Structure 1
Amino acid sequence: MPHEANPIGWNRRQLLALAASAAAIGPLGAQAQSRTSFATRPLRVVVPFAAGGATDVIARVLGERMAQRFGQSVVVDNKPGAAGLIAGDAVVKSQPDGMTTLLGTTSSMLTNKYLYQKTSYDPLTDLTPLVRVCLAPIALVVTADTPAQNLQEFMAWIQAQKGKLSYGSYGIGSHGQLACTTLSDLATAEMAHVAYKGEAPMVQDMLGGQIRIGMGSMVNLKPHIDAGKLRALAVTGPRRVPLLPDVPTFAEAGYRQDALSLVGWLAIAGPKGMPADVARQWAAVANHAVASREGMARIIAAGFVPVDDDTPEKFARLWAQEAPIWGRLLQAAGVQPS
């Protein structure tokens, strides 16, 4: 898997500069100054989660700004359930005219292919990748009473506690499981996986002392990190996270294995067969919306890393490169399709 040239994260000065320039329009945004040619009626963005969640909020914030560029309203259509398959199916069955798209996650748009035996569509062949709007890294955290202060000490600690420790993640086949499985294997720690139905119960068990290790999203973990109840040791992906600028990436700490280098994303895709010019217009409009002051602010506040320079071609290459890596990691972790 290719890595970005500079994996070092943003510092506070860079974040201030980012905020100051968020309204600037990049090359793709400049192409979207005039109204798009295909948007002849209100557009529908399907979200595979209930209203009120981080993905839904970002969809609505970006939708408001995209509407200005499209010259049409953008309607967010929440279709939760079945791990995102319901929402994906609705988009796959829509006309490939750019009027209906999916704003989904890596799991709903990629890894579901390896987690479920019977699905109504294959995301890799039945969706058209348009543009990523942000990266969705996760953090390794431990409880405050854990002796490890950094990743190196953590690896030594779990090795010394071989067979005695458990870690939590937000579900079977989650990125958290794959990353912790990799760490456990590297340290020959034989840690047990506790799969929760979401991050909230995992965090509650960590705060209650049932488990001492977990991996999850910044937005759910940060309040407890700030309160000193949890300690963040590292984050996945190629760069530091604006919400936790002092926490190194796994790569910075010397760990570059696939499960630790990969990072999830939120992205927009359409049904198979979308014309290339429509795909490029979608990317231009989405990039401009992400680069807006409020778009940047909301994405960073949700614990994500904004992406405002993506293209359909770049995203398609990344999608194709990452898919088999996720598949191999799930297989190595012993995750069986259900």
Structure 2
Amino acid sequence: MDSHNITRRHILATAAAAAGTSLIGLPAWAKAAYPNKPIRFIVPFNPGGATDILARVLGEAMSKQLGQPIIVENKAGASAMLGTDQVAKSAPDGYNVVVSLSTSLLINQFLYSKMAYNPQKDLLMLSELASAPVTLVVHPSVPANNMQELLAWVKANKSKVSYGSWGVGSYAHLGGAYMSKTMDADMSHVAYRGEAPMIQELIGGQLQLCFSSAQNTKPFIDSGRLKVIGVTGKQRMTVLPNVPTIYEQGVTDDAYAIAGFVGMALPAGTPKEVVDVLHAAVQEAAQNPKVKERVDSAGFLPVFSSPEDFSKSYAQAAPVWQQLIQVAEAKVD
């Protein structure tokens, strides 16, 4: 007997039990038809970033549980809104899933005056996979070794400092804009198509600082080509245990204490039976050593929440991000 079919039945049975029903009580299409073809994970960023790699490792693990291939497609553009919009407007049948950051799933709705989709109406939040704190790194020539010294330096060098981001509306953009605004530093923002080119420009000295994932910065921190100032959020990264959070350093602004997330979402209206099957597969994949290693190496903190818990944390985080955008004056028309 095909082990994939056994696994699929186990997943369906688990999902049904969680929903308070039996497998027999599920509709025929849920038992026999889902999934009966490849599932697409849409990553609205360029290949090679932390989110893209996590999506691929997670997809590989989940495909074994679901008995169908999971194809990862990169559709970058419009601050991650292009790929996210594609999923928001796709059929609510469970075959199109967006794996993205809080950028396109939460933040952009406060940043842009017009959007092609409304994340709170057009998407169903499936699981917060991980909390996504980032490192704050500077070029070695910057004469600062902690957050207090860096803030003093940017303030003293008004209009002379440039910071990078992996796109308008990303945490790297908002965090840098907030620093510039609160320090009256008039820093220049340079947006890149992904983290990799941003880091290369920082190493080359075209930028002085940026926020970026540990996956992209750790090799250069270890080699001394970049200097790390701290990490966002309130918990140290497993992959950089000796690097203090910015919060630990006495800079307790919400802008630095919060962290983004990596999450999965489906089109609104996706049947609960499909949601339950996918969520059960996510929970099973979360135990996979490869998935755990990828979460840690990116500097992420594992969450793998339920749809209900994701919705609660989303509602709590939304006003914090909205306020950050207002303070940073980062609104985009």
> TM-score under structure 1 normalisation?
0.80
Change (3 A) 1:154 1:105: same
User: What whole-Å deviation, never above 9, does each CA across 1:273-331 have from its counterpart, x for those lacking one?
Assistant: 234454344333212212210111122223333223x1111111121222232222223
2:329 to 316, 331, 334: 334
Secondary structure of the structure 2 residue equivalent to 1:291: coil
Secondary structure of the structure 2 residue equivalent to 1:253: coil
Report whether the alignment pairs 1:108 with 2:104: yes
> How far is the alpha carbon of 1:142 from its aligned partner?
1.8
User: What whole-Å deviation, never above 9, does each CA across 1:92-138 have from its counterpart, x for those lacking one?
Assistant: 23333333321111112122223333332111211011101122222
> How far is the alpha carbon of 1:189 from its aligned partner?
4.6
Q: Is the 8 A contact 2:166 2:191 kept in 1?
A: yes
1:58 to 54, 62, 65: 54
Code of the residue aligned with 2:318 in structure 1: it is: A
Code of the residue aligned with 2:319 in structure 1: it is: P
Task: Quote the residue 2:3 is aligned against.
Answer: none
Quick one: distance in 1 between partners of 2:202 and 2:42? Answer: 34
Task: Quote the residue 1:258 is aligned against.
Answer: 254
Code of the residue aligned with 1:65 in structure 2: it is: A
Report whether the alignment pairs 1:140 with 2:136: yes
Task: Quote the residue 2:319 is aligned against.
Answer: 324
CA RMSD of aligned residues (A): 2.6
Q: How does 1:68-87 map to 2 (within 5 A)?
A: 68-87=64-83
> How far is the alpha carbon of 1:170 from its aligned partner?
3.1
- Of all paired residues, the percent bearing the same amino acid is 39
Change (3 A) 1:333 1:44: same
Task: Quote the residue 1:89 is aligned against.
Answer: 85
Secondary structure of the structure 2 residue equivalent to 1:225: helix
Task: Quote the residue 1:315 is aligned against.
Answer: 310
2:279 to 255, 275, 283: 283
Task: Quote the residue 1:4 is aligned against.
Answer: none
Report whether the alignment pairs 1:269 with 2:261: no
> How far is the alpha carbon of 1:54 from its aligned partner?
3.3
Quick one: distance in 1 between partners of 2:82 and 2:208? Answer: 35
Quick one: distance in 1 between partners of 2:96 and 2:203? Answer: 42
> How far is the alpha carbon of 1:217 from its aligned partner?
1.8
Secondary structure of the structure 2 residue equivalent to 1:95: coil
Quick one: distance in 2 between partners of 1:279 and 1:123? Answer: 17
Q: Is the 8 A contact 2:136 2:209 kept in 1?
A: yes
1:158 to 141, 154, 162: 154
What runs of 5+ residues in structure 2 fail to find an aligned partner? 1-9, 17-29
Quick one: distance in 2 between partners of 1:120 and 1:165? Answer: 34
Secondary structure of the structure 1 residue equivalent to 2:124: strand
Report whether the alignment pairs 1:193 with 2:193: no
1:121 to 104, 117, 122: 117
Quick one: distance in 2 between partners of 1:272 and 1:181? Answer: 33
Quick one: distance in 2 between partners of 1:47 and 1:233? Answer: 29
Quick one: distance in 2 between partners of 1:170 and 1:94? Answer: 26
1:99 to 73, 95, 98: 95
Q: Is the 8 A contact 1:32 1:281 kept in 2?
A: yes
Change (3 A) 1:167 1:87: closer
Task: Quote the residue 1:179 is aligned against.
Answer: 175
Change (3 A) 1:120 1:184: closer
The count of residues paired between Structure 1 and Structure 2 equals: 306
What runs of 5+ residues in structure 1 fail to find an aligned partner? 1-30
Task: Quote the residue 1:149 is aligned against.
Answer: 145
Code of the residue aligned with 1:62 in structure 2: it is: L
User: What whole-Å deviation, never above 9, does each CA across 1:197-238 have from its counterpart, x for those lacking one?
Assistant: 243443333323333222222122222211112111111123
Code of the residue aligned with 1:134 in structure 2: it is: A
Quick one: distance in 2 between partners of 1:126 and 1:305? Answer: 27
Quick one: distance in 1 between partners of 2:71 and 2:159? Answer: 50
Q: Is the 8 A contact 2:62 2:285 kept in 1?
A: yes
Change (3 A) 1:291 1:307: farther
Q: Is the 8 A contact 1:85 1:108 kept in 2?
A: yes
Report whether the alignment pairs 1:299 with 2:295: yes
Task: Quote the residue 1:24 is aligned against.
Answer: none
Code of the residue aligned with 2:154 in structure 1: it is: I
